[in-house]
Amino acid sequence: MKRLIECVPNFSEGQNMQIIKQITDSIESVEGISLLNVDPGKATNRTVVTFVGEPEAVVEAAFRAIRTAGELIDMSKHKGEHPRMGATDVCPLIPVAGISMEETAKYAQKLGERVGKELGIPVYLYEAAQADQKRNNLSVIRAGEYEGFFKKIKLPEWKPDFGPAEFDAKRGATVIGARDFLIAYNINLNTTSTRRANAIAFDVREAGRTEKDAKGNPVKDANGNPVVIPGSLKSVKAIGWYIEEYGIAQISMNLTNTRVTPVHIAFDEVCKRAEARGMRVTGSELVGLLPLQCLLDAGKYFLEKQERSTGVSESELIKIAVKSLGLEELAPFKPEERVIEYLLRDKSDNKLVSMSLAAFADETASESPAPGGGSISAYMGALGAALGTMVANLSSHKRGWDDRWKAFSDWAEKGQQLKDQLLRLVDEDTRAFNRIMAAFGLPKGNDEEKKARTAAIQEATRYATEVPFRVMEASAATLEIARAMAEKGNPNSVSDAGVGALAARAAVMGAYLNVKINAAGLDDKKFAADIIARGAVIEQKAQAEEAEILKTVNSKIS
Catalytic site positions: 82, 429
Give dist(CA 444, CA 437) in Å, integer.
Answer: 14
352-355 contacts, C-beta under 8 A, 24 or more apart: 352/426, 352/427, 352/430, 353/379, 353/423, 353/424, 353/426, 353/427
Give dist(CA 432, CA 207) in Å, integer.
Answer: 52
Give dist(CA 145, CA 86) in Å, integer.
Answer: 9
Structural contact between residues 504 and 481, judged by C-beta atoms closer than 8 angstroms: no
Angle of helix 405-440 relative to helix 447-488, nearest 10 degrees?
Answer: 160
Length of the chain: 558
Q: What is the largest CA-CA distance in the chain?
A: 91
Give dist(CA 137, CA 134) in Å, integer.
Answer: 8
CA distances from 454 to 244, 451, 459, 465, 481 (A): 68, 5, 9, 16, 42
DSSP collapsed to 3 states, 340-391? HHHHHCCHHHHCCCCCCHHHHHHHHHCCCCCCCHHHHHHHHHHHHHHHHHHH
CA distances from 115 to 124, 162, 360, 484 (A): 11, 8, 52, 63
The three-class DSSP label of residue 177 is: strand
Reported as type and span, the H/E element at residue 462 is helix 447-488
Give dist(CA 41, CA 77) in Å, integer.
Answer: 17
